Chains A and B, each alone.
Chain A
C-alpha cells in the first residue's frame, strides 16, 4: 500500500476528531465559557500567569510534549506490523489523548491553574495524591535512564550525529548569551543559530565520530551514558536563560522544520509500505501484541506526561477558556502527526521486505530511533533529493535533541525533588545544589546500567517506561472523571479510556515480569513489581473515588 493513503487516512481521522469530537467535548462535556475568567487573567502577574495568544500557546504546548517517545514507541511497535500501530495512534489520539490533554487543561483552568498533582489532592483526596507522587517519581527516574540509553545507541548507530548533537549546546549558549547579555535581535540570532545547527549537521555527516570500543572496561554505549549524565548534571545547575531556554527554543524551531521536510518528502516520494500490515513472523522473544502494543506506544497515542505540561504551565497562560480546545486537543493531534510520521518512516522507508525485516528480526525491542532515521532518510532522498547520509544525520539529530532536552529538564526536576526531600526530612547535605545533583545523576546512572545501558540490554526497559506513563494518564483521567461526577456531567468519555488503560497495563506488567524473571534480570523484576503495586493502587483508588464522588453528588 502507498504511504500517502496512510497519511491521508490519518490526517482525516485527526481532522474529524478535532472538528466533531473535540467540539462535542467543548460544548457538551466541559461546557467551555468564553466569559469565564481564566487564571491567566485572574492572577496575571507578568511571570507565571500571562494571557498568551492561542497559536503561540499551542506551539509551546506541542513543542513541550513532543519528544523522542512518539518516535521511538512507534519505531518499536511496528514489529507487529503497521496496522496495529497505525490504528492505536489514530484512534488513541482522537479518543484517548485528545480528551486527556484537553481535559487536564480544562480541569486546571477551572481550578485556579493548579497542577495535576495538586488537583488530585483537592478533587480526589490525600491518598490519591500519595499514589500520584509514587508514579511520578518512578516516571522521572526512568525517563532519564531511557533517554540516555536511546542517545547512546543512536550515537553508535549514526556516528555522524555526534558533532551536531554536541554543537547544539554551544549554539544554544551563544544564543542565550547574545540575547540576554548583548541584547541582539532574536530574529537574526535565530537565523544564524539555525543555520549553524544545519551547518553542524553537514559537518557531522562529513566527519563521523566514534568512541573507542572499550575504555576503562566500559563498552562504547556505557561510555556515552556516563558522558551524557556528566553533561546533564552540569546542565541542570546552569542558569535557565543560558542553556535550557535557548536550547528548547532551537529545538522547537527544528521540530517544525524537520516535520515539514519529512511530510513534504512523503508526499513527493509517495513511497510504498514495505512492512506487512500484520507481522506473522515477529522475533521469538517479542511479547504478545495485546497488551504490549498499548504500553509500547504511549506518547503519540496517550501519555500522562502531557497532563503535567497542560496543567503545569499551559493552564496558567490560557487567554480564553474556549482556547483550551485548540491548545489541548490540537496539541495531542500534533503529537499524533509525529507518531504517524514515525510509523511511515519505519515501514515505508525501505526498498525490500528483507531489508525491513533485518531491523525487526533481531531481539525485541528494536532500536526505534535508528530505524526512524534510516527509513526517513531514504524517503527524504527520494522525495526532496537530500542525500540519504545527510538526511539520516538530520533525522537522528532531531530524535536525539528531543531526548536530550527531556533529559536536561528531567535531571533538573529530579534535583529539585531531592532538595525538597532534604528539606522535609532535614538532611542539610541533600539541600545543596551539587550534592543533590550528584544524587540525582547517580540514581539515574544506576538505573541506566541496571536496565542494560551497559550495552547488552538496549531498550529492554522501554515498555516499562511506557506503562508508567500510561498509569500517570490513568490517574489524570481519574481526576477529570471525579471532577465531572461532581459537576453531574457524563463520564463515559473518560471512564472508557481509563478502564482500557488499566486493563492493558496490569497484564502488560505481568507479562514483562515473567520475561524479566526468566531472563534473570532481578533489578527489573523489582522495578516491575513496584510499578505493578502502583497500578493496583491506582485502580483501587479510582473505584473508591468514583463511589465517594457519586455519593457526594447524590447527597449534595
Chain B
C-alpha cells in the first residue's frame, strides 16, 4: 500500500511539469552540444582534448540538435548525418 501511495505521489509530482522540465533539460543539453562541437564550428575551446572524446557518444543526438538550431544540414565537414 505504501508503494502504491509513493507511486501515486510521484505521478502527482511529475505529471503537470513533465513538459517544462524536459524543455529545461533540452536547453541545457543544447548548450552542452555546442560546447562539445564548438571547435568544429570555429569557436576555440580550451577543453577540446576532453570534449573530442565525447563526440562519438553524442553522435546519435547530433542530427536532432543541428535541426533544432536551425541548420538544415550538418554544419561540419566530415561529420555527416544527413
Binding site for B on A (CB under 8 A): 46-48, 50, 52-53, 56-57, 59-60, 64, 179, 185-187, 190, 239-241, 244-246, 248-249, 252, 313, 317
B17 within 8 A of A: yes
Q: Is the CB of B12 within 8 A of A60?
A: yes
Additional A-B contact list (5), CB under 8 Å, known A53-B11, A240-B24, A245-B13: A57-B15, A64-B16, A179-B13, A245-B16, A245-B20
B1-16: contact bitstring with A at CB < 8 Å (1 yes, 0 no)?
Answer: 0100110111111011
Closest to B3 in A: A187
Residues in chain A near residue B52, CB distance under 8 A: none
Q: How far is the CA of A48 from the CA of B16 in the complex (A)?
A: 9
Q: How far is the CA of A60 from the CA of B13 in the complex (A)?
A: 9
Q: How far is the CA of A239 from the CA of B27 in the complex (A)?
A: 11
Residues in chain A near residue B19, CB distance under 8 A: 47-48, 313
B22 within 8 A of A: yes
Task: List, sorted by A's number, 9 A–B pairs whose CB atoms are closer than 8 Å.
Answer: A47-B22, A48-B19, A52-B15, A56-B8, A59-B12, A60-B12, A186-B9, A244-B17, A317-B15
Q: How far is the CA of A244 from the CA of B24 in the complex (A)?
A: 13
Q: Is the CB of B20 within 8 A of A56?
A: no
Closest to A313 in B: B16
| Distance of B22 from chain A, by nearest CB (Å) | 4
Residues in chain B near residue A56, CB distance under 8 A: 8, 11-12, 15
Q: How far is the CA of A246 from the CA of B16 in the complex (A)?
A: 11
Residues in chain A near residue B16, CB distance under 8 A: 60, 64, 245, 248, 313
Residues in chain B near residue A248, CB distance under 8 A: 16-17
Closest to B21 in A: A241
Q: Is the CB of A187 within 8 A of B17?
A: no
Closest to B17 in A: A245
Q: How far is the CA of A186 from the CA of B11 in the complex (A)?
A: 10
Give the number of residue pairs across the A-B interface with Cβ within 8 Å.
Answer: 58
Known contacts A240-B21, A240-B24; decide if A60 and B9 are in contact (CB<8 Å): no
B18 within 8 A of A: yes
Q: How far is the CA of A179 from the CA of B5 in the complex (A)?
A: 17
Known contacts A187-B6, A241-B24; decide if A47 and B18 are in contact (CB<8 Å): yes
Among A48, A57, A187, A317, the residue within 8 A (CB) of B9 is A187
Known contacts A47-B18, A48-B18, A187-B5; decide if A252 and B24 are in contact (CB<8 Å): no
Residues in chain B near residue A239, CB distance under 8 A: 24
| Majority DSSP secondary structure for residues of B touching A | helix
Residues in chain A near residue B17, CB distance under 8 A: 240-241, 244-245, 248
Q: Is the CB of B20 within 8 A of A60?
A: no
Q: How far is the CA of A303 from the CA of B16 in the complex (A)?
A: 20
Residues in chain A near residue B5, CB distance under 8 A: 187
Q: Is the CB of B13 within 8 A of A249?
A: yes
| Distance of A228 from chain B, by nearest CB (Å) | 23
Known contacts A48-B18, A241-B24, A245-B21; decide if A252 and B12 are in contact (CB<8 Å): yes
Residues in chain A near residue B21, CB distance under 8 A: 240-241, 245
| Distance of B57 from chain A, by nearest CB (Å) | 22
Q: How far is the CA of A249 from the CA of B13 in the complex (A)?
A: 6
| Distance of A121 from chain B, by nearest CB (Å) | 22
Residues in chain A near residue B22, CB distance under 8 A: 46-47
Q: Is the CB of B6 within 8 A of A185?
A: yes
Closest to B11 in A: A56
| Distance of B47 from chain A, by nearest CB (Å) | 24
Among A50, A59, A244, the residue within 8 A (CB) of B18 is A50
Among B13, B16, B19, B24, the most chain A Cβ lie within 10 Å of the Cβ of: B16
Closest to A187 in B: B6
Residues in chain A near residue B2, CB distance under 8 A: 187
Closest to A314 in B: B16
Q: Is the CB of B15 within 8 A of A50?
A: yes
Residues in chain A near residue B18, CB distance under 8 A: 46-48, 50
Among B6, B9, B13, B20, the residue within 8 A (CB) of A240 is B20
| Distance of B7 from chain A, by nearest CB (Å) | 9
| Distance of A177 from chain B, by nearest CB (Å) | 14
Residues in chain B near residue A244, CB distance under 8 A: 17, 20
Residues in chain A near residue B6, CB distance under 8 A: 185-187
Q: How far is the CA of A53 from the CA of B9 in the complex (A)?
A: 12
Q: How far is the CA of A57 from the CA of B18 in the complex (A)?
A: 13
| Distance of A47 from chain B, by nearest CB (Å) | 4
Among A64, A186, A248, the most chain B Cβ lie within 10 Å of the Cβ of: A186
Among B10, B15, B23, the residue within 8 A (CB) of A186 is B10
Q: How far is the CA of A313 from the CA of B14 in the complex (A)?
A: 13
Closest to B6 in A: A187
| Distance of A297 from chain B, by nearest CB (Å) | 26
Q: How far is the CA of A31 from the CA of B74 in the complex (A)?
A: 49
Q: How far is the CA of A46 from the CA of B6 in the complex (A)?
A: 20
| Distance of B58 from chain A, by nearest CB (Å) | 20
Q: How far is the CA of A55 from the CA of B20 in the complex (A)?
A: 22
Q: How far is the CA of A179 from the CA of B17 in the complex (A)?
A: 14
| Distance of B40 from chain A, by nearest CB (Å) | 27
Per CB-CB distance, the 7 closest pairs between chain A and chain B, nearest first, are: A187-B6, A47-B22, A48-B19, A245-B17, A240-B20, A56-B11, A60-B16
Residues in chain A near residue B12, CB distance under 8 A: 56, 59-60, 249, 252
